[in-house]
Amino acid sequence: MAWESIAADKRSRILQSIPQEWLIGSKPQDISVMNYPEKSGIMSKDELAITNSSATELVAQLSSGQQRAFDVTLAFCKQAALAHQLLNCCLEIFPEMALAQAKELDAYFEKYQKPVGPLHGLPISLKDQLRVKGLETSMGYVAWIGKYDEEDSVLTKLLRKAGAVFYVKTSVPQSLMVCETVNNVIGRTVNPWNRNWSCGGSSGGEGALVGFRGSIIGVGTDIGGSIRVPAAFNFLYGLKPSHGRLPYAKMANSMGGQETVHSVCGPICHSVQDMKLFVTSVLSNEPWKYDSKVVPLPWRQSEEDTIKAKINSSGLRIGYYNFDGNVLPHPPILRGIQTVVSALREHGHTVIDWTPYKHDHAVNLIDRIFASDGGQDIFSVLQESGEPAIANIQDLVNPSLSKVDMNELWDVQLQKWKWQCEYLEQWNQREEEAGGEIDAFIAPISPTAAIRHNQFKYYGYASAINLLDWTSVVVPVTFADRNIDPKVVDYQPVNALDGIVQAEYDPEAYHGAPVAIQVVGRRLIEERIMTIAQEIGRLLGH
Amino acid sequence: MAWESIAADKRSRILQSIPQEWLIGSKPQDISVMNYPEKSGIMSKDELAITNSSATELVAQLSSGQQRAFDVTLAFCKQAALAHQLLNCCLEIFPEMALAQAKELDAYFEKYQKPVGPLHGLPISLKDQLRVKGLETSMGYVAWIGKYDEEDSVLTKLLRKAGAVFYVKTSVPQSLMVCETVNNVIGRTVNPWNRNWSCGGSSGGEGALVGFRGSIIGVGTDIGGSIRVPAAFNFLYGLKPSHGRLPYAKMANSMGGQETVHSVCGPICHSVQDMKLFVTSVLSNEPWKYDSKVVPLPWRQSEEDTIKAKINSSGLRIGYYNFDGNVLPHPPILRGIQTVVSALREHGHTVIDWTPYKHDHAVNLIDRIFASDGGQDIFSVLQESGEPAIANIQDLVNPSLSKVDMNELWDVQLQKWKWQCEYLEQWNQREEEAGGEIDAFIAPISPTAAIRHNQFKYYGYASAINLLDWTSVVVPVTFADRNIDPKVVDYQPVNALDGIVQAEYDPEAYHGAPVAIQVVGRRLIEERIMTIAQEIGRLLGH
């Protein structure tokens, strides 16, 4: 069958999986669809109350019998169905399976009067890399359509064990190696705040869906910004843990087996409280017993407590930068950073300058790593079905690109390690100068607020942190505002890309676009960085 | 200069670094030199008391002013000088620098009446991969002679900070990829128990030196048995931690940047108590702040306590195997395993059969990884000086060997991960069958006791554990005995290598050779596995 027919069939199967009564009769023309559920006529008041809750509230109700898993699942199935019709964000929609799973959980609760686990009855959306037994994981590749999974991914399995309900799998860009979400199977996913904007990527389906509250917690993955950029573009929190904190085993992936920089998985959600619910629920099931890459590190409450105590006594000591030396962020992002810096200072925390250390070198290294097989992995999957490369990766998918040779790879890996160690030395020196511990630094996650389609150019703010393998949490801060974020006049770019990115800024086009920052700390200290992110959110009044 | 002259000059510089009065007049002809220090006339009674102490005793004395760092250092410098003359085990001998360092520590103690750190004044020997500012790190390569280090390795630095004194760097095989110790710089290092036997490798200089008590704790590295085999062959304890527990940054290495299977560093010593002293001293200096690959995991006393409590209540549950399906160990090793199994059972512990899972597959994978650059890394270093390959690696060092291509590497890395996860599943299943937690398994570390030179053929018992990246501690058990370890009659080998290894067994030649086992547990649980190793040692009466 021609690839176009396979894709068309898949598209129609996705739509057919939505019950008739959840279909939108006449589609709204608004660019923002954030308030569509309320006026849809499809969601009941109770259902809206559910989708507008926090995950923490919901599991409290579910675990005490005040709420049934069936009702919660139904509400999210409906809102996700609306999301898909408006934003084109799902690759799998399976309310029947979800409601059956919810009924089982309700039966369990009725029988034992206790929840099966800390996520009892909570719907969680999954990026279409996570396998769910019985479903497809196409990952937006035509060639992978029609292959049904015989086993859950490890994370799916542990979430299921914790009581989570699965109901949708969300869209990704072809290859995953892009921060916008478009593929040949369902096309482009758009931003619920403004459909002319990108939802980010590669976990863009999650970003759009969670932003729209078609999901309360979504699972994404990140090798160069793929959790953090969608979180930022949809005004959400996102956690990119260090490699080895959360289980990735048995998921589908692009460039599988590439271990120089690891893709990691983590939640996209509306609060750090919900983020903690997710992380602690997974860790309580000892993922290191199922995935060899996971470090045996339970949730360390003492690490969270240390930061909380510091917040309430001496205050935090936080570094910050707003320019990595490669590409200057747009005015709304610079203002976002300044907003956080001011909020921290006003509340007695210490904020110090942080000089990013050789980020240009880091970005070059990671780019070489991503292209180290000359695109063969991606190209061979495209070739299998005959589908073309999406515009965003056309350069990458060229079988004549030369591969990195084994000794070159080893050299790159040595350079990576050296740079990482030098960065640690920078940190140590900065602490010495500051006369005490530095708890984190804050930085841009993308040089732009939620961007117009096909304009995303520079991944370096995100990918340098991946090369460090440090913990990062995205915190939503504010919205671009044409009245206070004017275009810089006579900007002198430091390089061509810097000029291109800066020129793209248009106060009108960006007006209202979500602005976020990332909070970054050393490796495997998720407890600390999440707690700092929570404090920043609190100071910002979220 | 011809490589022969460079090597000869280096050899003579090593000898010249030994003071006249420590030179052995007429060398003993005995095959065993274990009791030579006592009869040498070079070591005083006090010095012998020092070198026969444990590290734990010595630091207790040093930290309380009962012993001077100078005296302890002098004793070990002298005994190491004897070791080198008898066993040919050192690539660097620097008593002057060591004694100066010791004097500084004594001055510090005199002034402040307290130790600088937990290893105050304790001499520690270093495999010649660790850099010490001001010295060479030739690693047995002629091409690297004459290059002086401008910086300590991270581990050197942290040991120094803890108060350790450095006095020798020990020999390694050319390339490090061999379990016997021979190079073109100083030739072959031999076993102090019997100089016709190998001291093991690649940390063979450490094995011989610590076995001879020319060192109390030596630092080795292990990517396929290189700590554990020398520990086993010299009747010592050895720790191969998981990758990321102890810092490796800024050390010299072979095939540097190869990250598919990581080389790790760890101590070779006389007891688990001393091993713990080493590990806790390093961890107390937070190595993760200096080496990006180190996991932020302090010594977890609770993990040690859990095992101790279990030992004193329900008892441990330990798996065991004595045959990996590839190469059957010699009779002394099989008896060694049985000795440990019996001792455990007699003392109320539960011992269950453990079926090694696809070790043939694992050994094939790791062999592909080790040869993935077609030997280019090693070959290019040899070419630089013109020295020839040692016999043991001649096959590996062939520039016409084909390299593994990037996508093949990714496939190998996926296979590794899959196998690791399957092994975890095996463990989980075994626990389910056993009705409770399994604490570790015991297994051979080499199919033979300390082997005659040039006979070492099969690394699989060691390297399969490296591919898992699991924690392993070698425990010395007994000695080969011609009277109770007869050759197997009519052995039917399962493959050619199995036949060759079994045929090599000769009860006469092996009589008296150290026999050891390894205690293995999952990733990053050094506290648990060390405590179990200690209990096994206790049961064996060490």
User: Among A127, A157, A240, A276, which one carries the catalytic annotation?
Assistant: A127
Range of the domain at B409: 303-539
Q: Is the pLDDT of residue A396 over 80?
A: no
Q: Do B292 and A524 touch (CB under 8 A)?
A: no
A290 closest CB neighbour out of B289, B414, B424: B424
Positions at the binding site of B for substrate = 176, 202, 223-226
DSSP state of B287: G
User: Among A40, A125, A226, A242, which one carries the catalytic annotation?
Assistant: A226
Query: Is B460 in the same domain as B495?
Result: yes
Q: Do B425 and A523 touch (CB under 8 A)?
A: no
Q: Is B11 on the interface with A (CB under 8 A)?
A: no
User: What pLDDT does B243 receive?
Assistant: 98
For B19-72, the pLDDT digits (tens) are 999 999 999 999 999 999 999 999 999 999 999 999 999 999 999 999 999 999
Give contacts of B293 with chain A, Cβ < 8 Å: 417, 420
What is the least distance, in Å, from the CA of A248 to any CA of chain B?
11
A289 closest CB neighbour out of B250, B424, B468: B424
Q: Do A374 and B406 touch (CB under 8 A)?
A: yes
CA distance linking residue A210 with residue A228, whole number of Å: 13
For B412-466, the pLDDT digits (tens) are 999 999 999 999 999 999 999 999 999 999 999 999 999 999 999 999 999 999 9
User: What pLDDT does A402 receive?
Assistant: 86
CA distance linking residue B378 with residue A252, whole number of Å: 36
Is A53 annotated in a binding site? The answer is no
Q: Which of A393-407, B17-31, B184-198, B357-371 has the lowest mean pLDDT?
A: A393-407
Among A262, A290, A247, A246, which Cα is nearest to B260's? Answer: A262
CA distance linking residue A438 with residue A434, whole number of Å: 8
> B271 pLDDT band (50/70/90 cuts)?
very high
What is the least distance, in Å, from the CA of A415 to any CA of chain B?
8
Residue A187 domain-assigned? Answer: yes
Q: Do A404 and B405 touch (CB under 8 A)?
A: no
A 413-472 → B contacts, CB under 8 A:
413-414, 417, 420-421, 423-425, 427-428, 468-469
At what angle are helices A154-161 and A272-283 packed, to 10 degrees?
A: 100
Query: Is B244 in the same domain as B348?
Result: no
Helix (H, G, I), strand (E, B) or coil at B187: strand
Phi, psi of A252, deg, nearest 5: -75, 155
Query: Is B459 in the same domain as B482?
Result: yes
Query: Is B343 in the same domain as B398?
Result: yes
Residue B298 domain-assigned? Answer: no
Residue of chain B with shortest Cα separation from A258: B410
User: What pLDDT does B370 receive?
Assistant: 94
Give percent of chain A above pLDDT 70: 99
> B393 pLDDT band (50/70/90 cuts)?
confident
Count the domains in chain B: 2
Residue A30 domain-assigned? Answer: no
The ipTM is: 0.97
Of B261, B289, B317, the one marking the end of a domain is B289
- Rg of chain A over all Cα atoms, to the nearest angstrom: 22
Give contacts of B427 with chain A, Cβ < 8 Å: 289
DSSP state of B501: H
Average pLDDT rounded to a whole number, residues B366-385 = 94
For an interface test with A, give the residue of B254, B292, B412, B426 to mutate (most A CBs within 10 A). Answer: B292
Residue B294 domain-assigned? Answer: no
Contact predicate A251/A153, CB 8 Å: yes
Average pLDDT rounded to a whole number, residues A496-520 = 98
Is A268 annotated in a binding site? The answer is no
User: Among A40, A175, A198, A202, which one carries the catalytic annotation?
Assistant: A202
What is the least distance, in Å, from the CA of A260 to any CA of chain B?
8
Among B220, B257, B244, B251, which Cα is nearest to B151's? Answer: B251
User: What pLDDT does B238 receive?
Assistant: 98
What is the least distance, in Å, from the CA of A381 to any CA of chain B?
13
B 320-339 → A contacts, CB under 8 A:
none
Of A289, A315, A330, the one marking the end of a domain is A289
Query: Is B154 in the same domain as B83?
Result: yes
Of A289, A324, A340, the one marking the end of a domain is A289
Average pLDDT rounded to a whole number, residues B324-347 = 98
Query: Cis peptide leading into A202, omega within 30 of 0?
Result: yes
Q: Do A409 and B409 touch (CB under 8 A)?
A: yes
Q: Please give the span between the terminal C-alpha atoms of chain B, in angstroms, as a whole number.
A: 51
Query: Is A466 in the same domain as A375?
Result: yes
B 385-404 → A contacts, CB under 8 A:
403-404
Q: Do B522 and A288 touch (CB under 8 A)?
A: yes
Asked about A202 being catalytic, the answer comes back as yes
B377 closest CB neighbour out of A297, A407, A522: A407
For A430-452, the pLDDT digits (tens) are 999 999 999 999 999 999 999 99
CA distance linking residue A68 with residue A75, whole number of Å: 11
Q: Is the pLDDT of residue A398 over 90?
A: no
Give contacts of B302 with chain A, Cβ < 8 Å: none
Average pLDDT rounded to a whole number, residues B133-158 = 98
CATH number of the domain at A506, please. 3.90.1300.10
Q: Do B427 and A289 touch (CB under 8 A)?
A: yes
Q: Do B406 and A295 touch (CB under 8 A)?
A: no
User: What pLDDT does B395 receive?
Assistant: 72
For an interface test with A, give the residue of B250, B294, B370, B417 to mutate (most A CBs within 10 A). Answer: B417
Q: How many CB atoms lie within 10 A of CB A504?
A: 17
Query: Is A117 in the same domain as A239?
Result: yes
User: What pLDDT does A137 receive?
Assistant: 98
Q: Which of A398-407, B110-119, B182-191 has the lowest mean pLDDT?
A: A398-407
Q: Is A298 on the interface with B (CB under 8 A)?
A: no
Residue A353: which residues within 8 A CB-CB, separation 6 or more? A319, A320, A321
At what angle are helices B460-468 and B406-434 packed, to 10 degrees?
A: 90
Residue B368 domain-assigned? Answer: yes
CA distance linking residue A312 with residue A285, whole number of Å: 32
Query: Is B278 in the same domain as B366?
Result: no
Contact predicate B357/B443, CB 8 Å: no
CA distance linking residue B532 with residue B534, whole number of Å: 5
Query: Is A67 in the same domain as A198?
Result: yes
B373 closest CB neighbour out of A259, A373, A406: A406
User: What pLDDT does B397 receive?
Assistant: 65
Q: What angle do CA B226, B231, B235 make, to 5 degrees?
A: 160
- When the pLDDT of each residue in chain B is averaged and rounded to a whole number, the result is 97
B 490-509 → A contacts, CB under 8 A:
none
Burial A304-338 (b: 16+ CB within 10 A, else e): bebbeebbeeebbbbbbbbbbbbbbbbbbbbbbbe
Paired strand residues for B515: B478
- When the pLDDT of each residue in chain A is averaged and rounded to a whole number, the result is 97
Side-chain-side CA neighbours of B428 within 13 Å: the count stands at 13
Q: Do A255 and B410 touch (CB under 8 A)?
A: yes
Q: Is the pLDDT of residue B400 over 70?
A: no
Provide the residue count of chain A: 542
Query: Is B261 in the same domain as B314?
Result: no
Residue A294 domain-assigned? Answer: no
Q: Do A424 and B289 touch (CB under 8 A)?
A: yes
Average pLDDT rounded to a whole number, residues B153-162 = 98
A376 closest CB neighbour out of B290, B295, B407: B407
Query: Is A220 in the same domain as A321?
Result: no
A 357-376 → B contacts, CB under 8 A:
372-374, 376
- Ranges of beta strands (E only) in B407-490 are 440-443, 471-479
Q: Do A410 and B377 touch (CB under 8 A)?
A: yes
Token pair 């006393």 is found at B301
For B204-247, the pLDDT digits (tens) are 999 999 999 999 999 999 999 999 999 999 999 999 999 999 99
> B14 pLDDT band (50/70/90 cuts)?
very high
Contact predicate A356/A324, CB 8 Å: yes
For B295-309, the pLDDT digits (tens) are 999 999 999 999 999
Residue B448 domain-assigned? Answer: yes
Query: Is B247 in the same domain as B309?
Result: no
Q: How many CB atoms lie within 10 A of CB A302?
A: 8
Q: Do A413 and B290 touch (CB under 8 A)?
A: no
CA distance linking residue A391 with residue A154, whole number of Å: 33
Average pLDDT rounded to a whole number, residues B518-534 = 98
Side-chain-side CA neighbours of B21 within 13 Å: the count stands at 8
Q: Is A293 on the interface with B (CB under 8 A)?
A: yes
User: What pLDDT does B291 receive?
Assistant: 98
Residue A26 domain-assigned? Answer: no
For an interface test with A, give the residue of B286, B380, B410 to mutate (most A CBs within 10 A). Answer: B410
H/E segment holding residue A221: strand A217-222
User: What pLDDT does A279 receive?
Assistant: 98
Contact predicate B165/B116, CB 8 Å: no
Side-chain-side CA neighbours of B172 within 13 Å: the count stands at 28
